[in-house]
Structure 1
Amino acid sequence: MAHVGFLYPGYSAEDDYPVFEELLGGDVRLHLVHTLMREDAHRVDALLDVGGSDVLGEGARELRARGVDAAVWACTSGSFVFGWEGARAQADAVGDEAGAPSSSTSFAFVNALTTLGIGRVAIAASYPEDVAERFVEFLGAAGIEVVAWAGRGIVTAAEVGTLEAGDVLDWVAAGDHPEAEAVLVPDTALHSAAILDTLEERLGKTVLTANQVSVWEGLRLAGAAAPRDGLGTLFRAGAGTAAAAER
């Protein structure tokens, strides 16, 4: 059985992870450790604090105690705000403390897109626009073209976690663009586990959500990313050639 650990900031859509575990079947165990969120705000200074080494180090050491096979910092904004090199150093530090291969949600998006051979995307972000723009810049550093993006302007993760499935479907569909090969939804505070196939049916293309790519990345690092149904195009593809995207 593969044991994958996740550092999850605060409380908002943490109940997505038991849903993923159930849908994945009986050969995977997902371990969630909640990390400190001193201020729940999609604001650059607050996000830099959320992803600070003191906060993540404490959580990663708990994952080490649980003996996980891989560790993922399950926060998109709390990783990409550090820039490409800063996010890489952040993920590496998590791995050092956890004693396991490591990554973050931001890199999970890049690795997922590489696996699927996708280079042009649209972004439906829940964040304020100044934060969403930093995700655009992060993807650009990986050579990914963003053909359209918009921030919904939601300041707190707690509010994002209250969005209903119907609202999410309409909002993500509105964020699509004809030239985009996929739509990215970068916020682990958003519930998505139960609607991944529905999202793709609605848009007629690949949709990647933050909790989805986080779980996939953890399984990939743990060597357990065999193709699986019911969780969107990404999981049907399995691990593919994602290793080529690692930096």
Structure 2
Amino acid sequence: MVITSVGEDAHRVDALLDLGSDERLADGAAQLAAEKPDAVMWACTSGSFVFGPQGAQDQAAAVAAAAGVPASSTSIAFVDALRHLGIRRVAVAASYPDDVAQHFVAFLTAGGAEVVSMGSHGIYTAAEVGTLTPDQVVAMVVAADHPDAEAVLVPDTAMHTLAIVDKLEAAVGKPVLTANQVTVWKGLALLGPVPSLPGLGTLFGDRQ
């Protein structure tokens, strides 16, 4: 794993465009190339969706070229996971300020999803997101859910969700896709069939 450089920890569009810039990603990918990975994931949601669908694809292509292996990103993984599960109508539980969260909504919409509900929580930094407790994350997901939503999406890799995916799904009675969960899933999918893994929700169930 390589942590790419960060200019400013801020959920603000200009800061996120800098976070996902070609220079920062190329440097990180070059460092990873020395480790000879089989695939690479740009594990950041907001630093990819603010570039839009084509921009996110361009990011992944640039990382793949620099690392010399297949690559993707968290934002792309969300869209691919929805298609894999056959889900179209979703609710979004976003930690971001509303203007940033709307970029994610637009990204999902361009990918064929219908966002029926979106809750944004105005958290300005990834550092603050990382302090959310499991109970706070559950409450955020429950609040964002909607009867018409087939799944709830939680788009922030700074949020600690991997250990509580099953708890989140139990709270709303439907699939929940979180940033770190879909990142792991997509990274494995770049290599071949994804194994069924207990504790990681519907996405990692037997339907592969």
TM-score by length of 1: 0.83
Equivalent residue letter for 2:33: R
SS in 2 for 1:34: coil
Q: Which runs of 5+ in 1 are unaligned?
A: 1-31, 241-247
The structural deviation recorded for 1:129 is: 0.2
Q: Which runs of 5+ in 2 are unaligned?
A: none
1:206 aligns with 2:175: yes
SS in 2 for 1:153: coil
Q: Distance in 1 between matches of 2:205 and 2:91?
A: 21
Q: Distance in 1 between matches of 2:66 and 2:122?
A: 34
The match for 1:38 among 7, 19, 33 is 7
Q: Aligned Cα RMSD in Å?
A: 0.9
The match for 1:150 among 98, 114, 119 is 119
For 1:58-137, what aligned pairs fall within 5 Å after superposition? Answer: 58-137=27-106
Higher strand share: 1
Q: Distance in 2 between matches of 1:99 and 1:226?
A: 24
Q: Distance in 2 between matches of 1:157 and 1:73?
A: 16
1:104/1:237 Cα in 2 relative to 1: closer, same or farther (>3 Å)? farther
Q: Distance in 2 between matches of 1:222 and 1:89?
A: 20
Post-superposition CA distance 1:150-180 (Å, at most 9, x none): 2100000000000000111111111100000
Equivalent residue letter for 1:195: I
Runs of 4 or more, structure 1, over 4 Å off, are: none
TM-score by length of 2: 0.98
SS in 2 for 1:66: coil
Q: Please say if residues 9 and 15 of structure 2, whose CA atoms lie closer than 8 Å, have aligned partners that are also in contact.
A: yes
Q: Distance in 2 between matches of 1:113 and 1:103?
A: 15
Q: Give the aligned length.
A: 208
Q: Distance in 1 between matches of 2:31 and 2:146?
A: 42
1:176 aligns with 2:141: no
Q: Please say if residues 74 and 105 of structure 1, whose CA atoms lie closer than 8 Å, have aligned partners that are also in contact.
A: yes
Q: Please say if residues 26 and 66 of structure 2, whose CA atoms lie closer than 8 Å, have aligned partners that are also in contact.
A: yes
Aligned-pair identity in percent equals 61
